[in-house]
């Protein structure tokens, strides 16, 4: 049976209203998107939804006690809290530079958690 | 430093956030050497430093960055260009003749004579008091941005069980942040019949975590003498007043408010800059210049933006214009004719800019505006005096999102007698225009309720 | 230790009495259930120093109001408290009620006010000095000696001054029980006060407990009194609205008090309120939608075009209304050495210096205490750098760089002022304590900007962990803990 789902694209702030028709794991059609990102998002969202996770990790010896981080790519949506558990356990020493890998291959997703700000050593 | 001797700079930029940074870089690229950024926080980057979520810079850098990463791209350029800046420095006063008085711990109070001033102070959040929310006044009530700073920069949790009033983007973003950090967000209540935040944020900050969004709801009581104990929300009618009998009580220890942003223009007003009562920001012309020649404004101090990319773009323009102004010997640009006025009407709340001198405008000029209600399948129309020259259909327009039209210089020059350009929303009879039960009337009554002029929910660059 | 005098309550009455009694060689302490002075009725009222025409002639209220008003210039100067006589207008909106204005004038004369300090104005005369009066205003009674003051700073200054002159203050100390010790006939009477922080013993008690004064009175006396918390709500408007009126504009008085007023505050804001609502809950300082609507509506009857969009906060305070509607000040008949200072509702703030003086004289007579040689009657407030010249300010920052760092942008409060507020006698211990002393957080953003910064200073200065920093003591903690609390630990 062909299923239909209406989605709001989160690929960019436009928030296109997309309609996806799919049968099992097979996408039949994607409509309403204004760009490729929307198409890609919609295909993934109905089968394997993914998200980027942003948070902070504890830092010692720096000019701040928290450093913001992100998953360098999307991880499966149902692994967000598992990923947070790992992020919450980490404590890194200063200095930190944007892009430094904080947790490689978080939760076996193949995605690294990286720093998104610079922390100076004090 | 000798404080008695007045320093002088070609351009003084008030604020080192996204607008100030982009303005400084553009001014330097335009050839102005003596530029000084004054920043009140201990680092450059402004509010972006606490906006650790991603979604910034898609227009500017064609990639999705977090706030601190986006800011860092500009900060690194400021470093490389050797642009001067002072941190932990509060600007206390700007005079009409462009003397900037500032203060910090090491330099004391000092005055700077500026060739041009760029106002880039950003905005602040509307507090609880401005909404006249009844109840007690315990600890645990935070504006969403203050909570964001506590959680993301300082690393402190404001509470465990949270109710959020207002669905502005910071509120939505904080719903997710608090949830990821282990708190329970029980509900997001929104006074208006539509969210003031970006759609994507509703999906990935609320829907992803099954946080209910209650539109047309407001807080009617706050319990707890010391710390928040419970919050009661109720549905509001078309008059924006709570409907008795619709109350729902949520036990919680925290109430976050995301109910609007107000440009921070006390300094601008102090030096005689004319304010637009709708945006609460200065009136500017086609080069982001206020009514005071040589005083420019950009970013959220001018009007509250939805995307930081637009802030950077607009600020770049202000920086270039300020550079041209000082390079031309700080004289007013030639004005061949009276400026063309831009008028916002029929659902358009305001325009930036509000006047255009055709002799100074670029070949293409972006005019940004916001609408006062949700419109579907409606048209944005542009009139040159009485003649309709643009009529563009939009699938959806909402108060939370900034809209734009582009004016061509050559089209304006074709009409030497052009006096007024009007931008309005038009709905043809056949269209299924829904205005979400909130027409202009509802908006203005919301204003009364919220006690502020810009009652339509605002989004921000966060 | 046995105290000579224990004062229950660190509001403006209790602190005025403490300061007056600190002139003598007496062991005195003040017991306060909250974490700071100025946490009850003194915290939330109209901040007016009334002229004294309103109270019934011959009442304690009338006598002490007139005397307190007279004393206020000197006490404000001695204690470095901002005070200004801006004058009050009682406006009449009903031509049939114009005679009521003459009654006010006559009562003013009867209460001892100078004839030249009052005037009856017709509409034009009133408009000439107050242009934003409502269109319905037909005349006004003008009381020139009415003033505006900062109630926080008056209360705090009195407490600080009492403290440097030797009065102990115990905060977070709630009185639970008061009883007389069994003494041999003819022996000295000693009161035992049980609190949540242990027992205190004293020869004399002054009951200045605001809305709780009836509770303590009734513990020791068979002649019961009853205090009703009479709630009044207010809206405070931004400084940009502060010039909307220059005088304190009252409605003509009715049964429930002086009605809703519109007034500038000493700090340049505009204040409207209060209504009057009798409640039972002595902690019921919540506002309600109805009460806020009521004051907004009533204020508009007397002053037009109030820019309500400029509201920055709303709040409610409780007046300690005693059934007899007069101050009850004096020794309780069937409880010797127990001095009541009860029913101190409006004009309590105005009367406070006179209340202090009155109770001092009363105890002077009873106790015959010795005066201190080294009593210091003056106190310097927290320096406001805005009052300095550019050069003076730079000199200050050179000496103390903390005065160069702005913490509260709306009210332009520096770190130097906040440090002073924390370090001085009876210094601030909470966000609200800092706010009442410096105005940090009192401005248009209502502490959104400065609260994390002020918390950092409190953390640094008091060695308090963030989780223990409060808004106003008790359980009013601002944060519940750190993020990443389990970082680095194996679970």
Q: Residue B332 in contact with residue B324, Cβ under 8 Å? A: no
pLDDT digits (tens, 9 = 90+) for C363-389: 999 999 999 999 999 999 999 999 999
If phi > 0 it is left, if psi is from -120 to 50 it is alpha, else beta; for residue B177 that is alpha
- Across the interface, whether the CB atoms of A65 and B155 are under 8 A apart is answered yes
Model confidence band, residue B1 (pLDDT cutoffs 50, 70, 90):
very low
What is the pLDDT averaged over residues C465-481? 96
B-facing residues of A in 46-75 (CB < 8 A) are 51-56, 58, 64-66, 68, 70
pLDDT digits (tens, 9 = 90+) for B419-444: 999 999 998 744 444 444 333 333 33
Model confidence band, residue B3 (pLDDT cutoffs 50, 70, 90):
very low
For C345-373, give the DSSP string.
-TTHHHHHHHHHHHHHHHHHHHH-PPBPS
- Which among B86, B84, B83, B70 has a CA at the least distance from the CA of B25? B83
Which tops the pLDDT comparison, B383 or B376? B383
Residue B32 has a pLDDT of: 97
For C43-55, give the DSSP string.
GSS--EE--S-SS
Q: How far apart are CA C236 and CA C317, in angstroms?
A: 13
A-facing residues of B in 110-139 (CB < 8 A) are none
pLDDT digits (tens, 9 = 90+) for C230-262: 999 999 999 999 999 999 999 998 655 568 999
Does B461 reach chain A within 8 Å, measured CB to CB? no
Interface mutation vs chain C, best among A54, A62, A91, most C CBs within 10 Å: A91
pLDDT digits (tens, 9 = 90+) for A76-106: 999 999 999 999 999 999 999 999 999 999 9
pLDDT digits (tens, 9 = 90+) for C61-75: 999 999 999 999 999
pLDDT at B333 over 60: no
What is the pLDDT averaged over residues C18-27? 98
> Of B179-193, B421-435, C196-210, C315-329, which range is least confident?
B421-435
Local structure of C374: helix, strand or coil = coil
What percent of chain A shows pLDDT beyond 90? 75
> How does the average pLDDT of chain C come out, rounded?
95
pLDDT digits (tens, 9 = 90+) for C182-195: 777 778 899 999 99
Model confidence band, residue B128 (pLDDT cutoffs 50, 70, 90):
confident
- Across the interface, whether the CB atoms of A54 and B64 are under 8 A apart is answered no
Residue B188: CB atoms within 10 Å: 29
What percent of chain C shows pLDDT beyond 70? 98
pLDDT digits (tens, 9 = 90+) for B41-78: 999 999 999 999 998 998 889 999 999 999 999 999 99
- Across the interface, whether the CB atoms of A55 and B49 are under 8 A apart is answered no
Residue B437 has a pLDDT of: 37
CB-based contacts of B183: which residues, under 8 Å, 6+ apart? B157, B159, B160, B161, B162, B254
Residue B299's φ and ψ, nearest 5 degrees, are: 80, -155
- Across the interface, whether the CB atoms of B54 and A15 are under 8 A apart is answered no
Does B199 reach chain A within 8 Å, measured CB to CB? yes
Residue C100: CB atoms within 10 Å: 16
> Of A35-39, B133-137, B204-208, which range is least confident?
A35-39
Q: How far apart are CA B396 and CA A57, in angstroms?
A: 39
Interface mutation vs chain A, best among B55, B151, B309, most A CBs within 10 Å: B55
C-alpha angle B71-B81-B123 in degrees, rounded to nearest 5? 35
Q: Residue B340 in contact with residue B407, Cβ under 8 Å? A: no
- Which among C262, C224, C222 has a CA at the least distance from the CA of C48? C262
pLDDT digits (tens, 9 = 90+) for A22-48: 998 899 999 999 889 899 989 989 999
What is the pLDDT averaged over residues C301-328? 96
Residues of A within 8 A of B65 (CB-CB) are: 116
* B:C CB pairs within 8 Å: 144
Nearest to A118 among B54, B55, B72 (CB): B72
- Across the interface, whether the CB atoms of A15 and B66 are under 8 A apart is answered no
Model confidence band, residue B461 (pLDDT cutoffs 50, 70, 90):
very low
Q: How far apart are CA C431 and CA C454, in angstroms?
A: 7
Model confidence band, residue B455 (pLDDT cutoffs 50, 70, 90):
very low
Tell me which chains share at least 3 CB pairs under 8 Å with chain A: B, C
Query: In what order do the strands lie in the sheet containing B420-426?
Result: B355-356, B340-345, B420-426, B375-384, B387-397
User: What ipTM was reported for this prediction?
Assistant: 0.94
pLDDT at B453 over 50: no
Residue B8: exposure state from Cβ atoms within 10 A (0-12, 13-18, ≥19): middle
- Across the interface, whether the CB atoms of C471 and B139 are under 8 A apart is answered yes
Q: How far apart are CA B158 and CA B209, in angstroms?
A: 19
- Across the interface, whether the CB atoms of C486 and A66 are under 8 A apart is answered no
Residue B335 has a pLDDT of: 57
What is the pLDDT averaged over residues B141-164? 96
User: Closest approach of chain A CAs to the CA of C14, in angstroms?
Assistant: 45
Does B360 reach chain A within 8 Å, measured CB to CB? no
> How does the average pLDDT of chain B come out, rounded?
89
pLDDT digits (tens, 9 = 90+) for C141-152: 999 999 999 999
Q: How far apart are CA C62 and CA C326, in angstroms?
A: 9
C-alpha angle A110-A115-A116 in degrees, rounded to nearest 5? 120
Residue B132 has a pLDDT of: 83
User: Closest approach of chain B CAs to the CA of A28, in angstroms?
Assistant: 23
Comparing alpha-carbon positions, the chain C residue that sits nearest to A84 is C484
Which tops the pLDDT comparison, B454 or B304? B304
The question of whether C337 is a catalytic residue gets the answer no
pLDDT digits (tens, 9 = 90+) for C375-430: 999 999 999 999 999 999 999 999 999 999 999 999 999 999 999 999 999 999 99
Does A84 reach chain C within 8 Å, measured CB to CB? no
Interface mutation vs chain A, best among B72, B199, B376, most A CBs within 10 Å: B199
| Range B311-314 contact pairs with CB under 8 angstroms and sequence separation of 24 or more | B311/B18, B311/B19, B311/B22, B311/B461, B312/B18, B312/B19, B312/B22, B312/B60, B312/B74, B313/B22, B313/B59, B313/B60, B313/B366, B314/B19, B314/B288, B314/B352, B314/B368
């Amino acid at each position: 049976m062909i299923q239909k789902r209406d989605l709001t694209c989160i690929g960019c702030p436009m928030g296109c209203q997309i309609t996806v028709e799919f049968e099992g794991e097979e996408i039949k059609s994607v409509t309403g998107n204004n760009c490729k990102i929307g198409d890609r998002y919609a295909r993934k969202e109905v089968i394997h939804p993914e998200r980027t996770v942003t948070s902070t990790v504890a830092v010692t010896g720096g000019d701040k006690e928290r450093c913001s981080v992100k998953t360098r790519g999307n991880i499966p949506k149902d692994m967000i809290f598992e990923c947070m558990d790992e992020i919450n356990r980490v404590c890194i020493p200063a200095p930190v530079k944007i892009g430094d890998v904080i947790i490689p291959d978080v939760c076996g997703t193949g995605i690294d958690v990286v720093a998104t700000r610079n922390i100076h050593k004090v | 430093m000798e404080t008695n001797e007045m320093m002088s700079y070609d351009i003084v930029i008030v604020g080192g956030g996204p607008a100030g940074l982009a303005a400084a870089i553009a001014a330097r690229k335009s050839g102005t050497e003596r530029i000084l950024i004054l920043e009140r926080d201990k680092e450059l980057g402004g509010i972006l430093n606490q906006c650790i979520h991603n979604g910034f810079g898609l227009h500017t850098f064609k990639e999705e960055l977090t706030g601190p990463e986006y800011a860092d791209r500009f900060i690194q350029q400021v470093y490389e260009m050797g642009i001067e800046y002072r941190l932990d420095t509060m600007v206390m006063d700007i005079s009409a003749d462009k003397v900037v008085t500032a203060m910090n711990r090491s330099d004391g109070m000092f005055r700077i004579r500026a060739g041009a001033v760029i106002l880039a102070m950003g905005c602040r959040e509307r507090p609880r008091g401005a909404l006249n929310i009844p109840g007690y006044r315990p600890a645990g009530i935070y504006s969403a941005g203050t909570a964001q700073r506590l959680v993301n920069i300082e690393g402190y949790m404001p509470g465990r069980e949270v109710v959020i009033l207002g669905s502005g983007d910071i509120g939505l973003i904080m719903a997710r942040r608090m949830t990821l950090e282990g708190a329970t967000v029980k509900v997001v209540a929104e006074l208006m019949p539509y969210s003031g935040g970006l759609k994507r944020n509703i999906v990935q900050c609320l829907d992803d975590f099954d946080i209910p969004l209650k539109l047309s709801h407001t807080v009617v009581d706050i319990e707890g003498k010391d710390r928040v104990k419970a919050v009661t929300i109720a549905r509001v009618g078309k008059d924006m007043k709570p409907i008795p009998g619709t109350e729902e009580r949520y036990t919680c220890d925290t109430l976050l408010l995301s109910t609007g942003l107000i440009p921070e223009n006390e300094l601008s007003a102090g030096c005689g800059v004319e304010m637009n009562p709708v945006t609460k920001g200065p009136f500017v012309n086609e080069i982001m210049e206020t009514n005071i020649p040589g005083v420019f404004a950009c970013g959220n101090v001018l009007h509250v933006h939805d995307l930081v990319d637009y802030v950077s773009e607009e600020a770049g323009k202000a920086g270039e214009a300020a550079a041209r102004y000082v390079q031309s010997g700080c004289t007013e640009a030639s004005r061949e004719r009276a400026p063309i006025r831009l008028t916002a009407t029929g659902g358009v709340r305001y325009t930036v800019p509000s006047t255009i001198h055709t002799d100074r405008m670029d070949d293409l000029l972006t005019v940004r505006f916001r609408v006062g209600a949700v419109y579907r399948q409606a048209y944005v129309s542009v009139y040159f005096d009485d003649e309709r020259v643009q009529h563009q259909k939009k699938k959806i327009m909402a108060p939370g999102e900034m809209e734009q039209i582009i004016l061509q210089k050559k089209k304006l020059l074709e009409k030497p007698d052009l006096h007024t350009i009007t931008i309005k929303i038009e709905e043809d009879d056949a269209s299924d225009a829904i205005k979400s039960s909130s027409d202009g009337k509802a908006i203005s009554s919301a204003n009364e309720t919220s006690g502020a002029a810009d009652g339509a929910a605002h989004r921000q660059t966060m | 230790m046995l105290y000579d005098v224990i004062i229950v309550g660190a509001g403006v009455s209790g602190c005025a009495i403490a300061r007056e009694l600190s002139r003598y060689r007496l062991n005195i302490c003040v017991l306060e259930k909250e974490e700071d002075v100025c946490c009850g009725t003194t915290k939330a009222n109209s901040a007016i120093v009334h002229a004294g025409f309103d109270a019934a002639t011959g009442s304690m209220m009338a006598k002490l109001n007139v005397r307190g008003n007279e004393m206020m210039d000197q006490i404000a100067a001695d204690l470095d408290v901002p005070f200004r006589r801006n004058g009050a207008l009682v406006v009449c909106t009903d031509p049939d009620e114009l005679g009521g204005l003459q009654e006010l004038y006559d009562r003013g004369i009867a209460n001892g006010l100078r004839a030249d300090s009052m005037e009856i104005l017709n509409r034009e005369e009133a408009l000439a000095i107050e242009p934003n009066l409502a269109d319905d205003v037909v005349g006004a009674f003008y009381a020139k000696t009415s003033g505006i003051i900062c109630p926080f700073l008056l209360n705090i200054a009195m407490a600080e001054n009492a403290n440097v002159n030797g009065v102990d203050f115990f905060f977070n100390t709630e009185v639970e029980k008061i009883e007389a010790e069994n003494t041999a006939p003819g022996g000295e009477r000693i009161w035992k006060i049980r609190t949540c922080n242990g027992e205190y013993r004293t020869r004399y008690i002054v009951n200045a407990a605001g809305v709780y004064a009836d509770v303590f009175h009734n513990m020791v006396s068979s002649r019961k009194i009853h205090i009703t918390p009479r709630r009044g709500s207010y809206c405070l408007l931004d400084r940009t609205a502060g010039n909307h009126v220059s005088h304190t504009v009252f409605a003509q008085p009715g049964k429930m008090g002086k009605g809703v007023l519109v007034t500038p505050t000493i700090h340049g804001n505009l204040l409207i309120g209060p209504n009057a609502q009798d409640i039972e809950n002595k902690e019921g300082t919540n506002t309600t939608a109805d009460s806020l609507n009521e004051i907004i509506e009533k204020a508009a009857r007397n002053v037009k075009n109030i820019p309500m969009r400029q509201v920055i906060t709303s709040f409610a305070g409780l007046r300690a209304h005693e059934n007899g509607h007069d101050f009850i000040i004096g020794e309780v008949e069937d409880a010797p050495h127990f001095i009541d200072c009860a029913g101190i509702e409006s004009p309590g703030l105005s009367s406070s210096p006179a209340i202090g003086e009155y109770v001092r004289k009363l105890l002077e007579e009873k106790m015959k205490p010795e005066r201190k040689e080294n009593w210091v009657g003056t106190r310097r407030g927290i320096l406001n750098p805005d009052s300095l010249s550019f050069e003076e300010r730079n000199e200050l920052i050179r000496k103390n760089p903390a005065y160069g760092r702005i913490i509260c942008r709306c009210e332009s409060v520096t770190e130097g002022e906040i440090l002073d507020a924390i370090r001085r006698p009876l210094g601030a211990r909470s966000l609200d304590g800092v706010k009442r002393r410096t105005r940090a957080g009192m401005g248009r953003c209502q502490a959104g900007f400065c609260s994390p910064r002020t918390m950092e200073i409190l953390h640094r200065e008091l060695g308090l962990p963030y989780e223990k920093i409060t808004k106003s003591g008790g359980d009013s903690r601002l944060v519940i803990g750190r993020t990443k609390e389990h970082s680095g630990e194996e679970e």
